[in-house]
Amino acid sequence: MADKTDAPKARTWNATHLPDLSGRTAVITGANSGIGFTAADALARAGAHVVFAVRDLARGGAAAARVGGSTEVRRLDLADLDSVREFAASWDRPLDLLINNAGVMMLPEQRTKDGFEMQFGTNHLGHFALTNLLLPYVTDRVVTVSSGAHRLGDRRIHFDDPNLTGKYTPQRAYSQSKLANLLFTLELQRRLAESGSPVRALAAHPGWAATNLQGHTANPVARVVMQVGNRFLAQDDKAGALPTLYAATQDLPGASYVGPDGLGEMRGAPTLVGRTTAASDPEAARRLWALSEELTGTEWRLTAAASPAGAEGAR
């Protein structure tokens, strides 16, 4: 899909239009704050059982206690592949909806526990591994939260060195990770369709939503700019969560990308939006998938192993 789209807009759509989700289960990474919490609250109020997949169980529990519906809290650190495997190995029931929401943004250069650049490792590789390990249980769809920042920076994956050794900048790393989210969705949908699976892979972005994500950027000038933008330009987290909720519940084609319909896709009601040519490259998507399998030690599989901890076998 190119940068432009003629897709219809849903200008009046909001969380009150969610269908009845009774009996459905959703896992949301990073559900304790920001658009993740808002999405979790909306889904739970619509009847879904929502699993808060979070690094900090205390913070996750406090957030879940504020939600009007059925919840549980499980520990997941996307920057630690052992934690990802432990989370997946404990899963033993159907999962209607996986929302890959958690992320880090424009951090000072640092590494995950497994030695990957933190933004690529958390935003992409952690979710890639989690999805592969949980996919045998997913019955409906996988929604991955990307960003308009995929249009910035180099507009490519540094396949020879995704850790950006010697050429790291916070923006370059963040943009690469968000491009990776879209390429992952593209290749996941291709594999699902080719296998005849009814599961769909979709992506969404919140536009400019005022959350705590921007507060961890490495550049103090950028932090000030984002604080000003949060105050005067951004929409709140409830509006920022709408593209995720729209992608998670509406009858959309696989590989759809949902974002706000306003100027620059910074704010507005959810609608189908375009993406860059780089984010639509099927060869880059296949190449990224192969690299991600190698780096995470996880691989494509639609069938769970016989044991209750079947996802463990997909390491």
Closest C-alpha among 25, 18, 187 to residue 97: 25
Domain 15-305 homologous superfamily, CATH: NAD(P)-binding Rossmann-like Domain (3.40.50.720)
DSSP summary character for residue 277: S
C-alpha to C-alpha distance for 52 and 50, rounded to whole angstroms:
6
The confidence score (pLDDT) of residue 208 equals 80
Do 121 and 109 form a contact (C-beta atoms < 8 A)?
no
Please write the tens of the pLDDT for every residue from 233-278: 558 789 999 999 999 999 999 999 999 988 877 888 999 999 999 9
Q: What's the pLDDT at 162? A: 98
pLDDT at 296: 98
List residues with catalytic annotation.
Answer: 174
pLDDT digits over 273-302, tens only?
999 999 999 999 999 999 999 999 999 999
Averaged pLDDT in 10-residue chunks for the chain of 315 residues: 48 88 98 97 98 98 96 98 98 98 96 98 98 98 96 95 97 97 98 98 87 52 48 73 97 97 84 96 98 98 59 34
Domain limits, the chain: 15-305
Q: What is the pLDDT of residue 267?
A: 85
CA distances for 95 relative to 18, 217, 252, angstroms: 18, 34, 19
> Which among 71, 60, 145, 134 has a CA at the least distance from the CA of 101?
145
The pTM score is 0.88
